[in-house]
Structure 1
Amino acid sequence: MSRLEGFPPIALPHAHTLILGSMPGAASLAAGQYYAHPRNGFWRIVCEVLDIDPTLPYAERARLLAERGYALWDVLSACRRKGSLDSDIEPESMEVNDFDAFFAAHAGIARVFLNGTTAATLFKRHVAPRLAAHIAWQRLPSTSPANASYSLADKLATWREIVR
């Protein structure tokens, strides 16, 4: 199984909030875009919450997200995985992003939101123990289509937390 590499963060120096996934799925890696799977609700949800037109091209949505002070990244920088499911990530292959450098470059980050259980579990294990005390973090329901236990409306209601 080949090694998969994630993306650099989408972030501007004035970012106040970081949204983290676990690792991009196959559709995202193929497209070179965060949350590129057409059934993933991430962009619909975040665009609704932040009043961004969801029909804009990816680069424009990403730019507006960053301009509004939101950063987007993943906990893992690389791993081996067959398919797109987080449950298929080979634990021994996980490489965690350099959060020390990220938080040093984005000192205004005060909140971290984790997109789903796997992102939260990885963050809690690998990042939270070294996290500055002033940074709060919270798990939100995964926007993945694999998370069928929440409707899109329920996910949207919960994700409104990122603007509170």
Structure 2
Amino acid sequence: MTQKAAFPPSIAPDARLLILGSLPGERSLAAGQYYAHPTNAFWWLMGEVTGEALPALPYDERLLRLIAHGIGLWDVIATARREGSLDTAIRDATNRDLAGFAATLSDLAAIAFNGGEAARRGRQQLVGIDRYTLIDLPSSSAAHAGMTRAAKREEWMVLRHWISPRQPS
């Protein structure tokens, strides 16, 4: 099994919402981009949440648009061994210091978990901390095929409550 390392956070100090995945998949790691696999619905879902055409933008601009809405991205796992991209294949994971990181963000109001593995690991790290609203979301991955994009969209739209108003480009 190959050792994988996650990306640094993409976030501004005044973020209100932090979205956490588990560990980037093979395509994302190869591209050096969050949610790079073309079948992953993340950028489409976030476009729906923010009201912007995020999938049509270059990657760096997508990140800037999320930051403009007070949204940050990170992963709950720092490193792990894994063959392929499935969360079920994760072994020997080292978790991030999620509680310590979140404590540095004074405006942070909500933490959303993209998928079950992110929610399980993230919630374990935040036990006893009631400062944030914790939101479990269905995975944006195409591997989570038991739910349609429309059904995922319906659940992801709750994030609108925590985003900043649209700012001019």
1:145 partner letter = A
Aligned twin of 2:157 = 160
For structure 2, which runs of at least 5 residues remain unmatched after alignment?
A: 162-169
Deviations 1:25-66 (CA, angstroms, capped at 9, x unpaired)? 000000000000000000011012102222000100111101
The equivalent of 1:128 in structure 2 is: 126
Amino acid at match of 1:98: D
Corresponding position of 2:59: 58
How far, CA to CA, are the matches of 2:112 and 2:50 in structure 1?
Answer: 15
User: Residue 94 of structure 1 corresponds to which residue in structure 2?
Assistant: 93
Q: In the alignment, does 2:107 pair up with 1:108?
A: yes
What's the TM-score, normalizing by structure 1? 0.93
**3-state SS in 2 of match to 1:94:** strand
Q: Size of the alignment, in residue pairs?
A: 160
2:167 match: none
Q: Give secondary structure in 1 for the equivalent of 2:56.
A: coil
TM-score w.r.t. the length of structure 2 is 0.91
Asked if the contact 1:52/1:61 (under 8 Å) is kept, the reply is no
Tell whether 2:75 aligns with 1:77: no
Percent identical pairs in the alignment equals 41
Describe the superposition over 1:106-136 as per-residue Cα deviations: whole angstroms up to 9, x where unpaired.
12111111111111111122x11253x2211
Q: What is the CA distance between 1:2 and its match in structure 2? A: 2.6
Deviations along 1:68-109, whole A, 9 cap, x unmatched? 10011110011000100000001xx11111224422321211
Residue range with higher mean Cα deviation, 147-156 or 95-104: 95-104
Query: 2:141 corresponds to which letter in structure 1?
Result: S
In structure 1, stretches of 5+ residues that fail to align are none
1:141 matched to 2:141: no
Q: Distance in 2 between matches of 1:105 and 1:67?
A: 19
RMSD between superposed Cα atoms in Å: 1.1
Distance 2:134 2:15 in 1: 15
Task: Provide the residue aligned with 2:165 in structure 1.
Answer: none
Question: Which amino acid letter does the alignment assign opposite residue 151 of structure 1?
Answer: T
Q: Return the alpha-carbon distance in structure 1 between the equivalents of residues 128 and 57 of structure 2.
A: 37
